[in-house]
Structure 1
Amino acid sequence: MAPASVLARATAQAELCHIWEATYEASRAQPGSVAKKRPSGEWADYARALGANIQRRRVDLGLSQEQVAYAAGLSRYTFQKFEKGESMPGAPANPSLRNIMAICQVLGLTLDELVPKGWPDLRVGRV
């Protein structure tokens, strides 16, 4: 690469880094922003209940965590975290709809049958 194009690329990368840092800092400064918002409280209880439902059905079918995980296109580790209801210690799991649908298909359930009744109120500011 010519020196001028290397300089142009470095300048563009520096500008992108600056924009990202400014966006990140702005999101941290706003209460309830996406960057600071982590599921907790009611969601933590709900994630544990979902995990218990998954585990109960898996055990009833006589399947291992590994069998369900791989059939659903997940790693065993990820599936274990879903069953436990945690993504890391102290942080509730937040599986994607795609992952929950895949688990439902492997376990022979509909979303309604797997997902606990009584959804938590997830609205920001609870309208």
Structure 2
Amino acid sequence: MTSTERRQGLRDVSAVLGQRVRKRREALGLSQEELAHRSGLSRNQVQNLEKNRNNSRDANGRTGPANPRLDTLWSIATTLEITVSELLDGIDRP
């Protein structure tokens, strides 16, 4: 696997993760602000995860894909009343 393929794979996985977080958040009737407050994160962190971006930029000025830490995933999953395993289940498969 080339580095380009790995980067694209990370973008794809991150996009699915963000979609899952948003779908679950909305199902619980939470705003991004409420999810952030309850999980101890900033609204910007939640927004970046859902929109699959982070604040780092490459040499061309493009933002990178979301890449949350495990403790961030745990906080979000707990607040969304699911496990990290449920949040990530099958995410690496097309």
Aligned with 2:90 (options 90, 95, 117): 117
Aligned with 1:68 (options 20, 29, 35): 35
Corresponding residue for residue 59 of structure 2: none
Of structures 1 and 2, the larger Rg is shown by 1
* Structure 2 length-normalised TM: 0.80
Q: Deviations over 1:23-66 (max 9, x none)?
A: xxxxxxxxx8xxxxxx7210001001000000000000100000
* Structure 1 length-normalised TM: 0.60
Tell me how far apart the structure 2 counterparts of residues 71 and 59 of structure 1 sit (CA, whole Å): 14
Corresponding residue for residue 70 of structure 2: 97
Using the TM superposition, name which of 58-67 and 88-97 deviates more: 88-97
Aligned with 1:79 (options 46, 65, 68): 46
RMSD: 1.8
Tell me how far apart the structure 2 counterparts of residues 93 and 87 of structure 1 sit (CA, whole Å): 5
Q: Could you tell me which amino acid in structure 2 is paired with residue 82 of structure 1?
A: L
Count of paired positions: 83
SS of equivalent residue, structure 2 residue 54 = strand
User: Structure 1 regions of 5+ residues with no counterpart?
Assistant: 1-31, 33-38, 121-127
SS of equivalent residue, structure 2 residue 79 = helix
Corresponding residue for residue 11 of structure 1: none
* Runs of 4+ with >3 A deviation: none
Q: Could you tell me which amino acid in structure 2 is paired with residue 65 of structure 1?
A: Q
